[in-house]
Structure 1
Amino acid sequence: MEITGQNSTDSQPEGYSEHTLNVIGQILSRKTSVAQIMSKTVEGLNQSFDMRNPSCEELIYDLFKIQGKEEASIVKLVSVLRSFGLRDDDPRLRGMREKMLEYESLGDYEECESRHFRLSKAQFTDCIRPSITLISDALRNQLIIPNFGEFTQKITEIYNECIDERDGNVATYIPQLARQDPNKWGLSICTIDGQRFSLGDSKIPFCVQSVSKAFNYAIVASDVGTDYVHSYVGHEPSGRLFNEICLDNTGKPHNPLVNAGAIIVTSLLKSKWALADRYDFVLTQYKKLAGGGYVGFNNATFLSERETADRNYAISYYMKENGCFPPGTKPLREELDLYFQLCSIETTCESAAVMAATLANGGVCPLTDERCILPRPCRDVLSLMYSCGMYDYSGQFAFKVGLPAKSGVSGAMIVVVPNLMGICLWSPPLDKMGNSTRGVKFCQKLIDTFNFHNYDSLLHTDSGKIDPRRHVGTKETDLIVGLLYAVKNGDLDMVRRLYLQGASMNMADYDGRTALHLAAAEGHPKLVRFLLQVCKADYTAHDRWSHTPLDDARYFNNHECIRIITKYIHRTSSISSAKSFSEGENSKLAPSDEGVAQANGSSEEEENCGVMMMTIAEGDEKEGSVKNFMGSLDRLSLCNGGPLEEVVINEPDYDTTDF
């Protein structure tokens, strides 16, 4: 199948799905082609960024300009940003919101609906300037999930399939958990670019419980160092219950995500500070991880946890007897109070999804671009979540779902898709392993639909899964880049492979430069021969500066490439002229003459070759006759500044063993 790199002006812009264009078209209410409008806007924004031209604001103004008026609708811009998953309260859009409020207070908009909020060009560009980078990335469809609407449709389908899941029971070991409504079911997603989506009970607060263990470890490891933390706690799955009184063969808790390890990690949190200051420090770090989202505290849960803490006290005294705590550890009651307080921290699905996305983003909060976790602790906590994060179901979860995750007895569960997004699921009913039944089912269906499993990236895997990261038209773009890069480096083997795969050798980049342009400019004679003789590349192709491959070869003084191209052009033109002459002569032959020719054993091809050689021989004697049959070739030669080289047609053009 031949793949070309040229798009007509009516085709949809690269990276945009039809669904995305339809959504934008409905918002803009344009009568003209939305694809054309977005193509021009994206091309202009790309050039503005490439050339560091401050005209991005003007291009966006033109996109949202109201027809027939010198005004633009800022509300429509906000609607388009929402369609890409960017929320109005995104901290990165705070500057735009403040400017909007400023201009709204200056105007008389009381009698108008908010959808009629229009701004002059100066006001509009002033509003978007503080957030121009994010807005431009969204309009150029450069966010990590380009077709966000289609992605959220699939997520909604999976969410709805899990609503009817009725298995499991709420935790009953403390009254506050036992009172939870088993019908609650919330979901929230945040990508590493800050695209957000929520469903169900995503704004209802819940206690993080054991989910806090993952974040506590990351915070402590960033503060005191990973090696220091693991001098007191291991990193192996225990194979035991999460609250079992046991140590590994080195006399340390197995990992930071079982109760014993989590208590040790808590003792390392600013161990020299007062209890209140230690708690404030962790709460501040949680809020940074959440990008300023809701993070609170449930005192009733804390008091209940402390009243039913016999098992955790037993674990702590056992570890104290075995010398597991670091020197200078506070009294066990104080350490356990801090541990219970951290389990009683309260948040929502929306805030926890941002916290998970921070881990997916290498420790940098996607909403604030602030580093919250150092790179190595971020990597290590994801490794621990992958192997130990789901209680006794951790091995099966890693096998079936293949993603880092951490669950808690409140029904909360965070899932991290590295370099893509964080997910928070909350549903109080738990299975026998202590994990949310709806949460686990959702993850299994998620992996059945999307290629998020850790090993879905292997070659020859299930191609039926969806990759939401992939842009529409990316395959074609990759082909163009791969071809031109191979040509630049003179990699004939790679170019040959691409040709055999069906890639068109006439694909062009945004400047209209083809593989032949690049081979001629870089001075790769073998590639020039291959592209002309085998691939039949178009030697007349013009780039945006109206240069042909021959022009480029001459400009860079690549004499061998000049010789090959001119020779090929001369030969091609000669054959074309000879065939035309032969067809004219054959049309004059009577049927009897044709039969005589066949009787003499002369095929039409042989006659054509004979006429061609005769024509060239005559041209050698009379220069004018050569120019007469050259036609457009002669004009091309004169245009390019010099006569063509002499060509010997019966001389091989290249050594076929090269290819």
Structure 2
Amino acid sequence: MQTVVEDQLLASKRSKLTRRRSSGNLGDIEKKLEQIRQNGQNRHTLSHVEDKLCEMFRASDKSGRVNVTKFLEALALAGLRQTDPRLVEMRRAIASIQANCASDVRFWASDGLCFDEDVFKGVIMDNIDIIHKALTGDLVIPHFESLCEHLEELYELCEKDDSGKVASYIPQLERFDPSLWGISVCTVDGQRYSIGDVSVPFTIQSTSKPISYAIACAEKGPEYVHSFVGQEPSGRSFNELVLDNSLKPHNPMINAGAIMTSSLIKPTMAIADRFDFVFQTYRRLTGGEYLGFNNAVYLSERQAADRNFALAYFMRENKCFPHVQDLGETLDFYFQMCSLEATCESASVIAGTLANGGICPITGEAVLEPSAVRNTLCLMHSCGMYDYSGQFAFKCGLPAKSGVSGVILLVIPNVMGLALYSPALDRCGNSVRGVKLCKELVYRFNFHHFDNVSASGEKIDPRKTSNEKRADMVHRLLFAAAAGDLTAIKRYSLMEMHLEAADYDGRTALHLAAAEGHVHIVRFLLQKCSVLVDAKDRWGSAPVDDAQLAGHEDITKLLLKHYVESGITIPDSFQPGEVKLNNLNSKMKDTVITEKPKKQGTKERNSSDENAPVVK
């Protein structure tokens, strides 16, 4: 009996304690909400932007609240993830409210999570800059969802290619599933997209080589580094036992060159400290995303390292190293870097950091020196794809580096980085699907390093909105017409550009050519391009009005002749008295411009004598 009473008392105490804690939690969240609300009310900087966001995502229940669910979906469409480090304050505030107010009707509607206006403003205030850029199309890829749709199509296209074989020189790589296929994108503004097997860890292998080179250049300077390793494509296999004419490895992207650059990174430190330094650098390059180390691959690399040991001894024999080397330790350090693990997701951030000049897109941290990144991209462009480097540079025109695990880091400078992963390799050691996607990407998008932005009309440029593209082309067309650049006009004609396109004021290329007196442009537009001769601008003026106003009689005559030949009614201002026509019907074949009748008693001024008086 006593035990039952004690149990009842204990249960009563627990109930009271729970109620107190619950009450305390509610009080805490109410205080937090009030603080967020006050922050939103006191906000002045960019308050007009916050007001527009509130209107844009107003809840459908007409309560005046802001639909946070739709707001987060819009950020996701723009490429920003909720895990983005730049949105950490907003994410924490939303998570706190969700956790403590899961059943509070003040925060929920039929279509998702909703905040009142002041709470919403307080939640987003610390991250308003990146939010505003994302939702106004001010990031590097304005219509990011369109790019994602194209990448999904290319993913499915390349997935069908099941050719190639996985690397077999060590058993750990041979065990990987050749059907794995993933693509991850990270733009220089931190926009993210992934599809496929993007969470599968893989060792980075030779994609560590450009990073080692960039670290060495930042540490020692490019002049010092290139006193021990060259810059030229070798024209040989990536692991061939050969040096250049200066007895140096040809470049840092082949095995001999990568072993050399590894030896230059913190050479006076213990190997454990050197590894920690490089590991932390990679951690910053990935923006804190997944990074690991595969000890089994490392041990297998050491066991199958005969060729790399031969390269190291060959270089030491030719006195290539800057100082006495413990070759075993140097090669261990090189193998450790090749055995670092990443996923498509984290590797794409590394590629995005290279595309962004060494600044991590999702953290904003400057990890690598801009000059070191520039040199690295140059070498990736010329030497990054093993024995396929020359053809890849020709066909794709972009910096890239591949590894025998099946990864390719593709860099589109100042735009984005991609990580492509598929273990099935071609005869050169590059991912079959990865190389195919690179080719398809450049075929579809205006990304090739030597693509002419104005002349590659059939390619897509995702860096601009469709309106910007149209405005840019109209500007180029009108500028060429005003400048009398017939070559440019002919080029635009061959590109099948709409030559009747007008600016905001409704003025066409024919308007400007007529006003500026470029008769050769007018003739080409009328006779070769059949543009509309009587197009009206916002003031109701046709090209012939501009030609007459500017005093270009030859162009006026040419335009009126085209009116007649086209069966278009001639404007009243050009009827007899101003202009005398041989025949006034619509079948007239010619038009003659006549002089205005002179007043009686006047004498024509001699054009050669500007000072001659007018005699009345």
Q: By the TM > 0.5 criterion, same fold?
A: yes
**Residues 1:239 and 2:235 are matched in the alignment:** yes
C-alpha separation between the residues in 1 aligned to 2:48 and 2:453? 43
Match of 2:364 in 1: 369
Match of 1:354 in 2: 349
C-alpha separation between the residues in 1 aligned to 2:215 and 2:573? 78
Q: How does 1:316-465 map to 2 (within 5 A)?
A: 316-327=312-323, 330-457=325-452, 460-461=455-456, 463-465=457-459
Match of 1:141 in 2: 137
**Residues 1:211 and 2:207 are matched in the alignment:** yes
| Aligned with 1:307 (options 303, 310, 331) | 303
C-alpha separation between the residues in 2 aligned to 1:114 and 1:332? 67
C-alpha separation between the residues in 1 aligned to 2:318 and 2:203? 32
Displacement of 1:226 in angstroms is: 1.2
C-alpha separation between the residues in 2 aligned to 1:177 and 1:217? 25
| Aligned with 2:245 (options 249, 259, 269) | 249
Residue 54 of structure 2 aligns with an amino acid whose one-letter code is Y
Match of 1:126 in 2: 122
Kindly indicate whether the alpha-carbon contact (under 8 Å) linking 1:353 and 1:414 is maintained by their aligned counterparts in 2. yes
Per the alignment, do residues 357 and 114 of structure 1 end up closer, same or farther by CA in structure 2, a change over 3 Å counting? farther
C-alpha separation between the residues in 1 aligned to 2:537 and 2:432? 64
User: Comparing 341-350 with 289-298, which one deviates more in the overlay?
Assistant: 289-298
Match of 2:49 in 1: 56
| Aligned with 2:282 (options 281, 286, 289) | 286
Displacement of 1:165 in angstroms is: 2.1
Residue 443 of structure 2 aligns with an amino acid whose one-letter code is D
Residue 54 of structure 1 aligns with an amino acid whose one-letter code is S
Kindly indicate whether the alpha-carbon contact (under 8 Å) linking 2:233 and 2:383 is maintained by their aligned counterparts in 1. yes
Per the alignment, do residues 284 and 603 of structure 1 end up closer, same or farther by CA in structure 2, a change over 3 Å counting? closer
SS in 1 for 2:205: coil
SS in 2 for 1:324: coil
RMSD of aligned residue pairs (Cα, Å): 4.3
Per the alignment, do residues 445 and 475 of structure 1 end up closer, same or farther by CA in structure 2, a change over 3 Å counting? closer
Residue 48 of structure 2 aligns with an amino acid whose one-letter code is S
Kindly indicate whether the alpha-carbon contact (under 8 Å) linking 1:144 and 1:193 is maintained by their aligned counterparts in 2. yes
SS in 2 for 1:350: helix
Per the alignment, do residues 496 and 249 of structure 1 end up closer, same or farther by CA in structure 2, a change over 3 Å counting? closer
Kindly indicate whether the alpha-carbon contact (under 8 Å) linking 2:84 and 2:362 is maintained by their aligned counterparts in 1. yes
Q: Deviations over 1:578-620 (max 9, x none)?
A: 99x99xxxxxxxxxxxxxxx9xx9989xxxxxxxx99xx9xxx
C-alpha separation between the residues in 1 aligned to 2:238 and 2:487? 57
Q: Deviations over 1:78-132 (max 9, x none)?
A: 1011112221111121121122123334534478689521111111111122221
Kindly indicate whether the alpha-carbon contact (under 8 Å) linking 1:146 and 1:469 is maintained by their aligned counterparts in 2. yes
SS in 1 for 2:466: coil
Per the alignment, do residues 231 and 113 of structure 1 end up closer, same or farther by CA in structure 2, a change over 3 Å counting? farther
Structure 1 stretches lacking a partner, 5+ long: 1-50, 520-525, 543-563, 566-574, 583-597, 605-612, 618-649, 652-659
Q: Deviations over 1:302-339 (max 9, x none)?
A: 11111222221111111112111113x55111111111
Q: Deviations over 1:44-79 (max 9, x none)?
A: xxxxxxx97531011101111114112101111110
Q: How does 1:10-25 map to 2 (within 5 A)?
A: none
Per the alignment, do residues 540 and 388 of structure 1 end up closer, same or farther by CA in structure 2, a change over 3 Å counting? closer
| Aligned with 1:66 (options 53, 59, 65) | 59
Q: How does 1:33-112 map to 2 (within 5 A)?
A: 53-67=46-60, 68-105=62-99, 107-109=101-103
C-alpha separation between the residues in 2 aligned to 1:205 and 1:403? 25
Displacement of 1:456 in angstroms is: 2.6
Displacement of 1:340 in angstroms is: 0.8
Per the alignment, do residues 304 and 498 of structure 1 end up closer, same or farther by CA in structure 2, a change over 3 Å counting? closer
Kindly indicate whether the alpha-carbon contact (under 8 Å) linking 1:163 and 1:438 is maintained by their aligned counterparts in 2. yes
Q: Deviations over 1:283-318 (max 9, x none)?
A: 111121112211111111111111222221111111
C-alpha separation between the residues in 2 aligned to 1:53 and 1:156? 36
Residue 85 of structure 1 aligns with an amino acid whose one-letter code is G
C-alpha separation between the residues in 1 aligned to 2:178 and 2:392? 23
Q: Deviations over 1:343-401 (max 9, x none)?
A: 00000001111111111122222112222222221111111111111111111222222
C-alpha separation between the residues in 2 aligned to 1:369 and 1:387? 29
Displacement of 1:224 in angstroms is: 1.6
Q: Deviations over 1:613-640 (max 9, x none)?
A: 99xx9xxxxxxxxxxxxxxxxxxxxxxx
Residue 374 of structure 2 aligns with an amino acid whose one-letter code is R
Kindly indicate whether the alpha-carbon contact (under 8 Å) linking 1:506 and 1:537 is maintained by their aligned counterparts in 2. no
SS in 2 for 1:397: helix
Q: Deviations over 1:549-589 (max 9, x none)?
A: xxxxxxxxxxxxxxx99xxxxxxxxx97999x99xxxxxxx
Residue 369 of structure 2 aligns with an amino acid whose one-letter code is L
C-alpha separation between the residues in 2 aligned to 1:127 and 1:481? 42
C-alpha separation between the residues in 2 aligned to 1:436 and 1:577? 71
C-alpha separation between the residues in 2 aligned to 1:529 and 1:102? 69
User: Comparing 215-224 with 105-114, which one deviates more in the overlay?
Assistant: 105-114
Per the alignment, do residues 341 and 492 of structure 1 end up closer, same or farther by CA in structure 2, a change over 3 Å counting? closer
Per the alignment, do residues 536 and 237 of structure 1 end up closer, same or farther by CA in structure 2, a change over 3 Å counting? same
User: Comparing 392-401 with 491-500, which one deviates more in the overlay?
Assistant: 491-500
Structure 2 stretches lacking a partner, 5+ long: 1-43, 523-532, 541-548, 551-570, 586-595, 606-616
C-alpha separation between the residues in 2 aligned to 1:145 and 1:394? 28
SS in 1 for 2:183: strand
Could you list the structure 1 runs, at least 4 aligned residues long, displaced by more than 4 angstroms after superposition: 110-115, 458-461, 479-487, 491-506, 512-515, 526-530, 534-542, 575-579, 601-604
Residue 71 of structure 1 aligns with an amino acid whose one-letter code is R
Per the alignment, do residues 178 and 70 of structure 1 end up closer, same or farther by CA in structure 2, a change over 3 Å counting? same
Displacement of 1:192 in angstroms is: 1.6
Kindly indicate whether the alpha-carbon contact (under 8 Å) linking 2:380 and 2:399 is maintained by their aligned counterparts in 1. yes
SS in 1 for 2:393: helix
Residue 175 of structure 2 aligns with an amino acid whose one-letter code is R
Q: Deviations over 1:8-43 (max 9, x none)?
A: xxxxxxxxxxxxxxxxxxxxxxxxxxxxxxxxxxxx
Per the alignment, do residues 202 and 53 of structure 1 end up closer, same or farther by CA in structure 2, a change over 3 Å counting? closer
Kindly indicate whether the alpha-carbon contact (under 8 Å) linking 2:506 and 2:537 is maintained by their aligned counterparts in 1. no
Q: Deviations over 1:467-525 (max 9, x none)?
A: 222311123432676699999xxx765799889987789734xxx8999xxx9xxxxxx
Give the aligned length. 510
Q: How does 1:247-646 map to 2 (within 5 A)?
A: 247-327=243-323, 330-457=325-452, 460-461=455-456, 463-478=457-472, 493=484, 507-508=503-504
Per the alignment, do residues 538 and 185 of structure 1 end up closer, same or farther by CA in structure 2, a change over 3 Å counting? closer
C-alpha separation between the residues in 2 aligned to 1:427 and 1:76? 35
Match of 1:32 in 2: none
Residue 77 of structure 2 aligns with an amino acid whose one-letter code is S
Residue 387 of structure 1 aligns with an amino acid whose one-letter code is S
User: Comparing 417-426 with 472-481, which one deviates more in the overlay?
Assistant: 472-481
Per the alignment, do residues 529 and 403 of structure 1 end up closer, same or farther by CA in structure 2, a change over 3 Å counting? closer
Q: Deviations over 1:406-439 (max 9, x none)?
A: 1111111111122221111111121211111221
